[in-house]
Structures are given as C-alpha cells and as structure tokens.
Amino acid sequence: MPPVTIKDVARAAGVSPKTVSRVMNAEAHVRPAVRDHVLRVVAELDYRPNAYARSLSSSRSYLIGLFFDDPASGYAADVQIGAMARCRHHGYHLIVERIDRSGSGALDEVSRMVQALQLAGVILTPPICDWAELTDLLDQRGIPVVKLNASRTDTSAAVIHIDDYQAARDMTDHLIALGHRDIAFVQGIASHDAAGKRLAGFSDAMHCAGIRISDGWVQTGDFSFRSGMAAGDAILSTDDRPSAVFAANDEMALGVLVSAARRNIAVPGALSVVGFDDAPISRMAWPQLTTIHQPNAVLASAAIDILTDPSYRQADDRAARSVQVPYTFIARSSSGPA
C-alpha cells in the first residue's frame, strides 16, 4: 500500500490540504470542530507526516535532539525507546547525540551542531542536564529544552522527574527493616541534583532510625560500572565491612556485586546490594537487583509531549510545566536479612 498523503487526508475530511497542514502544525485560526474532525481522519488513515517536507513548507524543524553523556548506558536505552515512540506519534524525528564536556572546546562543538541541525527542541539527560552553560547556549539559540531529573531552579526549562529523595528513603528503610544497621552508600556525581537528593534520602532515613553512618562507608562514583566497582573495593576491603550497600544507580550496584564476587562475599547471604533505576542490567545481574523503578520511557515520553506543544515555545516560565512521575520499589533477590 502506498503511504497516505496530506491530499488523501484532505479528500477524506472534505477540507483543503492547507487546512490539514494547519491542524498538523497546531496553528491558530482553525475552528475546534474542524480540528477535531481532521484529527479523527488522520487517526483513521494512520497518516504520518514527512518531517523533512513539513520543515520545507513551514520553515520549522521537526527534529528533536536527545543529548546524553553516555548513549550506551542501560538508562539511555530506556529513555530512547520512550522518546522515539512519542516522536513518531507527533510526527517528529529524534536525533541522539553524545555530549562530551571534558574538552576545552566542548561548548563550541555543541553550538555548531545545534546550528546545523536547527532543532525544534532538546531533551537533556543527567548529568549534562545540570550543565548551566549548555542550557544558556540553547536558550540563546531559542531552542526549547526539557530536562530529565535536573534541578528545578532554572525557569527556562521544564523538568520531568521522580521524587529521588523519598525513593532513596524507601530503599534505605527496606534495608533497615531487614535488620541492617551497617549500611554503606555509593553516591553519583556530587554536582548532579538527583544524586544529592538520593544521598540526602539515605542519610535522613539512617538518622531517623538512630543509625550512625560509619566513616568511609559513603563513596563517590560517577554512575558508571567502573566507579561502582572501585567504590565496592574501597568499602569491602576492610575487616569491618557493612552488611549492605546501597548504590545510587544500577550500574554502580553491578560494580559492587562484582567487587563482592572477587572477594567471595555471598550476596545476599553475607552482603545485600541494592540499586536505583531498574535499568535492564538490574534484571540481567545475578542475583537480580533490588532497585527503584524509575519509568525512564515515561519520563522521555512526557518530555516529547511538552516539546511538541506549540505554546511551550512562547512560555515565559517553562519550569511551570515540570512534571513528577511516580516511582516503584522493586524487591528482588540481591537483598536479604542482615
């Protein structure tokens, strides 16, 4: 079957192709009844606008950028799935870019890239969502931004997030309820907003239970497997080791699992290890990780809905669009009684 064209939609709806174009581009001056009728026909015919043709006809881009520091991570895979599906629904296309800010010319490189692509919007993921210079650059270019799990102090961008603080408290309370009192924590990048909230949730839960956090049992990682293994080595290399380790994401938790295995420390018999995110590796690990399910695909989908809303581009205070998405505690076999 040949693809459905805008003329096919116009013919079936009894309107002009221009009217269909105005409806698809969410332009003003279209009567609500006509808009609803055209959208029904679009759905019935499963019409998918060509993003390149729409860009030429309307001088607007239908490309949305999704920026990561590590597109190969399990977290990134979940985010891409949600973003791609929602872009397809809205007639947009997704471009995934790795942003490496380690070099001196990183910001100039990003500037040239966004100028060439003429993006309609950008999703920023952790930890680059807290890179203020990047947000300022995109704002100066007039490119709407939505951030995932970032600080909410920036009024130029909406934030889609979960309650990282309460989720970390719930996980810590789970370990305490199992009888653990000697609990270590592997935090993420200290400057990242969600990492700070997860550490605060852990610390407050321990304080409320009257449990002291031992020196050296809070280690800093960077959300990578390698940093989790290094943190695990630091925590587990002493004779006075904890009975549980809470890592601020699943990749670092997997690193702790490997560190324990190298020392023949049984999990969960001699050590409980828990993570955060419910990334695919949390189910591939052995034992499978107890974790917090962060619905990354849902977060990304919500971000696309905001970026494709024409009113968001004109918003004075985009932070007003911020959305909190529920999380879920997932108990698996990596945690057990102290």
Please write the tens of the pLDDT for every residue from 4-60. 888 888 999 999 988 988 887 767 678 888 988 988 898 888 887 665 555 545 555
Mean pLDDT rounded to a whole number for the chain: 89
Asked if residues 38 and 19 have their Cβ atoms less than 8 Å apart, the reply is yes
Examine the pLDDT at 323 and tell me if it is beyond 70. yes
The pair of structure tokens assigned to 186 is 């592997």
The span from the CA of 174 to the CA of 338, in Å, is: 11
Percent of the chain with pLDDT over 90: 54
H helices present in 91-224, as ranges? 106-117, 132-140, 164-177, 193-208
Cβ partners under 8 Å of residue 29, min gap 6: 22
Q: Which of 84, 99, 91 lies closest to 130, judged by CA?
A: 99
Q: Which of 4-13, 160-169, 238-247, 269-278 has the lowest mean pLDDT?
A: 4-13
The identity of residue 108, as a single letter, is D
Q: Which of 99, 42, 87, 82 lies closest to 63, judged by CA?
A: 87
Tally the C-alpha atoms within 13 A of residue 133's C-alpha that lie toward its C-beta. Answer: 10
Task: Identify the residue with better confidence: 140 or 317.
Answer: 140
The span from the CA of 75 to the CA of 329, in Å, is: 17
Asked if residues 143 and 83 have their Cβ atoms less than 8 Å apart, the reply is no
Please write the tens of the pLDDT for every residue from 136-171. 999 888 899 999 988 766 678 899 999 999 999 999
The pair of structure tokens assigned to 216 is 């050296």
